[in-house]
Structure 1
Amino acid sequence: MTATPSDLLSRALNACGEPPLRPLPAVVAELLRSLEAPPRLAAHLRLVHDVAAELVAWAEARYPELVWDRDAVLFGAATHDVGKVLHPGELSGPGSDHETAGRDLLLEHGFAPGLARFAADHARWGDTDAGIEDLLVSVADKVWKDKRVPDLEDGLVRELAGVSGREPWEEYLALDDLLTRIGADAARRLAFQVAFPVGA
């Protein structure tokens, strides 16, 4: 029996994954169901959200003095590409139309501007006054597939050094160690994502 698009979306949202994946926030999973999101998009959002959760746990342990919104990071990672529902060609090809479309879509569904911003800004960390939350979402969106972006990571290191009072090189070494460990599972994450179709 052939799986329906709804079945495939459910699998993308609920499959254990390898490595094991955390579920998306319930409000995000419900939104993706209501939008009949492509299964590959749901799989991708789970992967980036899962990596963001690792980054959040690390930051909480290393920077107890950090004042930030950890839930915003997790929501931002879980919805950063939601605009690809409206621009499905960008699931398998280049394009940035999904960014403002995603922000607008989240606003239309009643999400606060402070949460919707991640959909528009996750690829523009150098063009905005990106804070810790924004930088963590952007890093998660890169390192899930073991892509390292020096300018992005340098921005995060500067922010973290400003919080901790430690030397930037110390913060770089700690972040590099974490991102190297996360990147080691990239092949398994990519395999999980491509197991789901781009369309119905």
Structure 2
Amino acid sequence: MSPRRSYDQYCSAARALDLVGDRWTLLIVRELLAGPRRYTDLHADLPGVSTDVLASRLKDMERDGLTTRRRLPPPGAAYVYELTERGRQLLPVLQALSAWGAPELGERRPTDAVRAHWFALPLLRGLDGEGLVEVRLEEGDFHLRVGSEEGPVYGDGPAPTEADARMTMDAATCEEVVRGELTLPDAIRAGRVTVTGDGTLAKALREA
């Protein structure tokens, strides 16, 4: 394991960048905010990262107390990586970066990779309250845990239990919301997002 590089500056921002400033580190955090992930799953959802770099970043993050590695019990018997409490505290950092970077998205380029769950954190910013929200997009389904203070804040696929609300939208609508060109309440009022469900969150979304 290589020694940690440092800016050697007595500044909290510099110290933070000592830990998460390397290329790919914050995107690994983005993936692990969905909960424990196997190495192969992380590699599949981080197109462009080499196996060597991913392995190196994961070792660095474990050393720095951002992640842990554990073995699943049989019959899984695979190793998974997950965020520590310190690592989960990076959620608002990623939320802020996501909001700041939204104007840079523009139209999707032909070379851009995309995963449905990459829209999870931007959409989460527009939701208040607490509950489980299932989102259905052309690229696939994912779910959000609104107001979650512990554990995963989103996950791939349909909600594992009965969702408090379900939102269905097309790719164009989702991208406009993510870029900040359209608010979620405006999209719902315009009929571009369909909200179903009887939970408090569903009712709040329909009445916003």
Could you say whether these structures have the same fold, taking a TM-score greater than 0.5 normalized by the shorter chain as the test?
no
Larger Rg: 2
TM range, smaller chain: under 0.3
Give the helix-richer structure, 1 or 2. 1
TM-score, normalised via structure 2 length: 0.26
TM-score, normalised via structure 1 length: 0.27
Give the strand-richer structure, 1 or 2. 2
**Structure having greater relative contact order (Cα 8 Å, sep ≥ 6):** 1
